[in-house]
Amino acid sequence: MTGSPPIRRCFALFTQHEGQSRVDFTALLSGSDPVVRCHVQWALAPHLAVPVELDSTLAVALGSVDEKEWTPRSRVEDAIGSAALMRLIELGLVLEQGVETPAHIRDAALRESHWHPLLATAHAFSRWTHVDSLKAQEASGIRSTADLIAASGLPPPHYRLREDAHERVTLERPPAVGLDALMRRRTTCRNFDPDVALSARDLAVVLHRAFGEQGREEIEPGAVALKKNHPSGGGLHPLEAYLLVQHVDGVDAGLYHYNVESHALDRLPEPPAFETAAFARLMVAGQHYFSDAAVLLVVAVRFPRSSWKYRRHPKIYRAILLEAGHASQNLYLGATELGLGAYVTAAINEVDIEEAFGLDALLEGPIAVCGFGPRRQRLETVELDPAHRVWDEGGNLVRDSAAASG
């Protein structure tokens, strides 16, 4: 085809083979085994929204298209045929140079963000949309730890002992200090009081301690390093905080971005028919005990910030997850010090969060949601507090845990 643009395959692509079974009713009526087993091959390409089913012809054809260099179309057509090539272009797995389709634009953005292909694929296809994790748990028949043990047996032992150890060195237990008291009160809260607002001052304190700038230095012209209260791979600090404010004195309910430079909240536009409480529950995949928090905070990652230095690096995603853990722990401690409850969860509907906040999963994607706010005075949903530093034996909030700063 004269004048047709050169083509290339999408940047990141992995295939998955899935066994499936179907019923052959003709065999059933004839008395033969009605269960027919087959294999389906899926193309997983992170620039596309969903997996793409491939037949054997398309699967083989994909292997004939280079993912780096633009190749003359005629050369590929000679190898795989025009029908197979057209189908791969329609699916968004093969791209035409200069043809700005959504697939082409997303693939170009993925290339420019320097993702490791395997990590980009894992990130893209582990995201949820409109999942209700509690309903899914109930549907599985597992409603309690007893149900889980009945289905899966006891968990691995709570202590790890090495039988091959040949010596034991006893360590001195440290004397308790203020930090110990704070950490003993640090628990995951599942009992927020939706009728008590968080103060704007406490919101500011938690944000500044968990995500705020503590100092900065221009290492080279245009290259600035920030000091925050947690470590970060390469000192790049790619984490961003997006907030759903529900109950904060003096702050309207809605969507916000935490502006680190100004230590301020920037109000964001809301989607049509937006409803705060419903979106809170959607964010945390139906975990109602988390959705009552005064503030739900999305931990998002500006991936190009990290991949600028660690290009297609197999370890950078792991470093980012470690950083998110450090930041969420600081949020826990900052909230606990103020007498507030806090949590972090990875059971979130990333796709719905991205749509509401205007995020692109592969450029600035959510990886967790934290929440914080005033606790209820009575325990309604079970929490793990073995030391009884938050709740007493009768399910009442321990006085010291409820004492907020002035």
pLDDT, one tens digit for every residue, the chain (406 residues)? 457 899 999 999 999 988 777 777 777 778 777 777 777 899 999 999 899 999 989 999 998 899 999 999 999 999 999 999 999 999 999 999 999 999 999 999 999 999 999 999 999 999 999 999 999 988 999 888 899 999 999 999 999 999 999 999 999 999 999 999 999 999 999 999 999 999 999 999 999 999 999 999 999 999 999 999 999 999 999 999 999 999 999 999 999 999 999 999 999 999 999 999 999 999 999 999 999 999 999 999 999 999 999 999 999 999 999 999 999 999 999 999 999 999 999 999 999 999 999 999 999 999 999 999 999 999 999 999 988 899 998 999 997 665 544 3
Report the distance separating Cα 244 and Cα 316, nearest Å.
28
SS3 19: strand
251 dihedral zone (left: phi>0; alpha: psi -120 to 50; beta): beta
Contact 84, 61 (CB under 8 A): yes
Q: Does CATH place domain 134-139+178-402 in 3.40.50.720? A: no
Q: Are strands 239-245 and 223-227 parallel, antiparallel or unpaired?
A: unpaired
pLDDT in the model for residue 249: 97
270 dihedral zone (left: phi>0; alpha: psi -120 to 50; beta): beta
Positive/negative CA dihedral, 382, 386, 387, 393: positive
pTM for the whole structure: 0.91
pLDDT in the model for residue 44: 96
Query: Could you please report the per-residue DSSP string of 112-160?
Result: HTT--HHHHHHHHTT--SS--HHHHHHHTT--SHHHHHHHH-SPSPSS-
Q: In b/e form, how buried is each residue of 95-128, taking b as 16+ CB within 10 angstroms?
A: bbeeeeeebbebbebbeebbbbbebbbebbbebe
Neighbours of 180 (CB within 10 A): 11
pLDDT in the model for residue 4: 86
Every domain of the chain and the residues it spans:
7-112, 134-139+178-402
Burial group, residue 163, by CB count within 10 angstroms (0-12, 13-18, 19+): exposed
Q: What is the DSSP letter of 235?
A: G
392 dihedral zone (left: phi>0; alpha: psi -120 to 50; beta): beta
SS3 329: helix
Report the distance separating Cα 382 and Cα 395, nearest Å.
10
| Residue among 42, 44, 45 nearest 11 (CA) | 45
Report the distance separating Cα 258 and Cα 35, nearest Å.
55
